[in-house]
Amino acid sequence: MTKKWCATLAFAGLGVLVGCHNSSSSDSSKQAVAESQPAKVPIPADSPFAKVKEGMSPEEVSSLIGPPTSQGAYATGKAFIPFHYGGDNSRRIFRYKGMGTIIFSQNSSFSSGYSVMEVNYDPNEKGFE
């Protein structure tokens, strides 16, 4: 056999070995991640965040509870999937000092619209990343 052919077989064998792993280790890592995340704090009824509902646009939220202290945006893993035409390719985050964060998800690949996906109440929020 040629050296090139042997190298190809070696890499193929390595791929098989790497692909075979025990699923219990991934289960324990998921459990460790879940335990490391803080418990979600319920939103008090008198908080402005109690007015925010899933599906609202960023403009609706800003007009309802005021502008955020800071805001940011990031791409999700779905943005890199070829031929993914659904939503949630990117997200926006509004940070409110002393109140928490509001996360918006992109409605679809063909729109620039976002809607509330998650409201995280955190009285210790600094307001900046």
Q: How confident is the model at residue 116 (pLDDT cuts 50, 70, 90)?
A: very high
Specify the higher pLDDT residue, 84 or 125.
125
What are the domain boundaries of the chain? Answer: 3-36, 48-121
> Number of H helices and number of E strands within the chain?
3, 4
Distance, CA of 3 to chain centre: 45
pTM, entire model: 0.67
> What span, in angstroms and rounded, lies between the C-alpha atoms of 119 and 105?
12
For residue 33, pLDDT over 50 is answered with no
> What span, in angstroms and rounded, lies between the C-alpha atoms of 106 and 79?
11
Segment 55-113, tens digit of pLDDT: 999 999 999 999 999 999 988 888 888 888 888 888 999 999 999 999 999 988 777 89
> What span, in angstroms and rounded, lies between the C-alpha atoms of 79 and 62?
26
Segment 4-20, tens digit of pLDDT: 555 454 555 544 444 54
For residue 21, pLDDT over 80 is answered with no
For position 86, what pLDDT does the model report? 83
Question: Residue 54: which of 117, 114, 106, 108 has the closest Cα?
Answer: 117
